[in-house]
Amino acid sequence: MTTFAFVIGLAYLVAATLFVLGLHQMRAPSTARRGNLTSVLGMAIAIAATLVVALVTSGGSVWGWLALVLGAALGAVYGVVRARTVKMTDIPQLVSVFNAVGGGAAAAVAFVDFVLYRSATPLSLTSSIPIVLDVLIGSVTFSGSLIAAGKLQGVIPGRPITFPGSRVVNLAVVLVAVGAAVLTVIFGHSILLLIIVLIAALVFGILMVLPIGGADAPVIVSLLNAFTGLAVAMAGFAIDNQALIIAGALVGAAGTILTLQMAKAMNRSVANVILGGFGTGDAPVTSALAQDLTGVRQLTADDIAVQLAYAQRVLIVPGFGLASAQAQHEVAELAKLLLDHHVDVKYAIHPVAGRMPGHMNVLLAEANVPYDQMLQLDEANAAFDNCDVALVVGANDVCNPMARQKGNPVSGMPILDVDHAKSIVVVKRSMSPGYAGIANPLFTDPRTGMFFADAKQGLAAILAATKDYVTA
């Protein structure tokens, strides 16, 4: 090992250490931002070291460097503009788009590597296998993540899209992709075969995500995130760059853990998510008047204001409805008003509230809610027993007590024990069921009062009524 190679290897090691440290610092909200900056430093070192190696060892042509600089400038501007302007409710789509471009970049790197080196001698297995795997995984991630982003954004219908014989077509595409991949490895120099791998993988990515319902899209985004990590690690094997291998493996692990946790919180297995179309993402809103309201106690904003103002402890349960109505500022303002009135207000947050794990926390943080007011599932469930009023806003399945019984779609799902509260207020547009498609007995409980309204308008009405009440 030359001194130069040693120094470069050391730089990659430092970069990898900084990535791990950065993720480590993300375990507490107070150090998380520093953790992200630590990761940025690691990135800068990894890229600088690679740049030095490239300049010293090969030099390259002006056109190659020009392509790199122009591409980097274009990509950086696009990325930063999107990152700075995105609405916090649209974060899951953006994460999916950034995931897609990462997978696409990994596939492109492997493809060029193949084009450049296959002519001299047929590639050895140690480079052709990672290259082919990279093209395969990277392409699936690229097209799949774009479709998932489209579903989350609503550009592509959220309902599962299937067509007759889709399973057969899927299988055929997989066979073509894998077959071409194996042949590419065996022959070691056919660009045509690699192009077939690329196209078949892109088609498979689309076919894999189309049948997945909008409600499950976050699980798939997370799974594809793990895939991108693996694709990047494979690119690292192909070009013998340890920084890529380590970073790719870390992301692969992160994506895998999140996928499993999310599937568990939604009471589904990962295989079930991929195979079964489930959840529409845009359930029709039936008018509150046209439905069966037997056993439902309806409240007015004034009734709720009185309950809240006289309560000692209030737990707010924000759900997907709050996120889609972008009512995080209204709920935070209501909480602030009550806190000033010496009511203890906290938020009970289900792991999959919002559109991805932890998404609700981000939305509340955007509305200036301190993170120590946000309770995770276990903390929240301990608090419901002493809670005077549970204010459920746009949540449904995550607080359905049916989960404690056997034999229904939510059986066994971890839920918030909202029914342990002394009194329950639900703000919801209608009685329509959530993604699981079953009725929620919580809504007809004698202690529950329903307030049929959009989360934003409903909270604004409650806020106005509470203001009148506490200041009068």
Partner 1 sequence: MTSELFGNLAIFVLSLLVGFEVISKIPTTLHTPMMSGANAIHGVVFAGAIAIASVANSPVSYVLTFVAAALAAANVCGGYVVTDRMLRMFSRPKQPSIPTTPKDPS
User: Which parts of 82-101 interact with partner 1 (CB under 8 A)?
Assistant: 82-86, 88, 91-92, 94-95, 98-99, 101
Nearer to partner 1, 225 or 448 (CB): 225
**Paired tokens of 235:** 């690119």
User: From CA 147, how far away is CA 139, in angstroms rounded?
Assistant: 13
Nearer to partner 1, 67 or 275 (CB): 67
Which listed residue (156, 200, 210, 250) binds partner 1 by CB under 8 A?
A: 250
Binding to partner 1 by residue 366, rule CB under 8 A?
yes
> Which range, of 79-87, 148-156, 384-392, 421-429, touches partner 1 by CB under 8 A?
79-87
Taking residues 210 to 229 in sequence order and writing x for each that binds partner 1 by CB under 8 A, - otherwise, the string is ------------x--x--xx
Nearer to partner 1, 119 or 294 (CB): 119
Q: How, if at all, do strands 374-375 and 389-393 pair?
A: unpaired
Contact positions with partner 1 (CB under 8 A) in 311-330: 329
Binding to partner 1 by residue 205, rule CB under 8 A?
no
Nearer to partner 1, 147 or 431 (CB): 147
**Paired tokens of 430:** 């209608």
Binding to partner 1 by residue 54, rule CB under 8 A?
yes
Q: Which residues contact 155 (CB under 8 A, 6 or more apart)?
A: none
Q: Which residues contact 472 (CB under 8 A, 6 or more apart)?
A: none
Binding to partner 1 by residue 232, rule CB under 8 A?
yes
Binding to partner 1 by residue 358, rule CB under 8 A?
yes
Nearer to partner 1, 304 or 463 (CB): 463
Active site residue 303: no
Nearer to partner 1, 47 or 382 (CB): 47
Catalytic residue among 113, 134, 216, 397: 397
User: From CA 415, how far away is CA 398, in angstroms rounded?
Assistant: 5
205 exposed, middle or buried (CB, 10 Å; 0-12, 13-18, 19+)? Answer: buried
Binding to partner 1 by residue 370, rule CB under 8 A?
yes
End-to-end CA gap in the chain: 80
Nearer to partner 1, 95 or 136 (CB): 95
Binding to partner 1 by residue 275, rule CB under 8 A?
no
**Rounded least distance, CB 157 to partner 1, Å:** 25
Contact positions with partner 1 (CB under 8 A) in 14-53: 16, 19-20, 22-24, 26-30, 32-33, 35-37, 39-40, 43, 46-47, 50-51, 53
Binding to partner 1 by residue 75, rule CB under 8 A?
yes
- Provide the b/e sequence for 404-419 (b: ≥16 CB within 10 Å): eeeeebbeebbbbbbb
**Rounded least distance, CB 30 to partner 1, Å:** 6
Binding to partner 1 by residue 371, rule CB under 8 A?
yes
Taking residues 99 to 138 in sequence order and writing x for each that binds partner 1 by CB under 8 A, - otherwise, the string is x-xx-xxx-xx-xxx-xx-------x-x------------
> Which range, of 174-182, 205-213, 244-252, 309-317, touches partner 1 by CB under 8 A?
244-252
Active centre residues (catalytic): 397
